[in-house]
Amino acid sequence: MADDVFKALADPTRRRILDGLAERNSQTLFEICARLASGHGPGLSRQAVSQHLAVLETAGLVITRREGRYKFHDLNTEPLEHIAARWLGPKAPESTP
């Protein structure tokens, strides 16, 4: 699972998508595309953004839910928390001389 997270985070577009979801959760594909275009210029198709979202979802970084005909995307920080806990977990008490 950690390999999927690192693979997902390796791409700058996917990191921008996560940044956008961190600013405001529960966005549709249309909203994510609009935010990317307004911040970084129109360079990605809806299909390309959809593929990036699929990678993020596979890594567990994005959770999707359907409401009617809309699909909303939410940031899931649990995979990042697991990685951080692995390397930044409880510190051993420092000894004083």
Fold for domain 2-72?
A: Arc Repressor Mutant, subunit A (1.10.10)
Kindly tell me if the per-residue pLDDT of 29 is higher than 70. yes
Q: Tell me the domain boundaries of the chain.
A: 2-72
The residue among 81 and 2 whose pLDDT is bigger is 81
Alpha carbons 2 and 4: distance in angstroms, whole number = 5
Kindly tell me if the per-residue pLDDT of 95 is higher than 60. no
Kindly tell me if the per-residue pLDDT of 79 is higher than 80. yes
Nearest to 50 by CA among 30, 23, 21, 24: 30
Kindly tell me if the per-residue pLDDT of 80 is higher than 60. yes
Q: What is the pLDDT of residues 17-27, one digit of tens each?
A: 999 999 999 99
Q: Which pLDDT does position 69 carry in this prediction?
A: 94
Angle among Cα 74, 80, 84 to the nearest 5 degrees reads 155
Q: What is the pLDDT of residues 40-73, one digit of tens each?
A: 666 789 999 999 999 999 999 999 999 999 999 9
Angle among Cα 12, 80, 40 to the nearest 5 degrees reads 20
Q: Which pLDDT does position 94 carry in this prediction?
A: 64
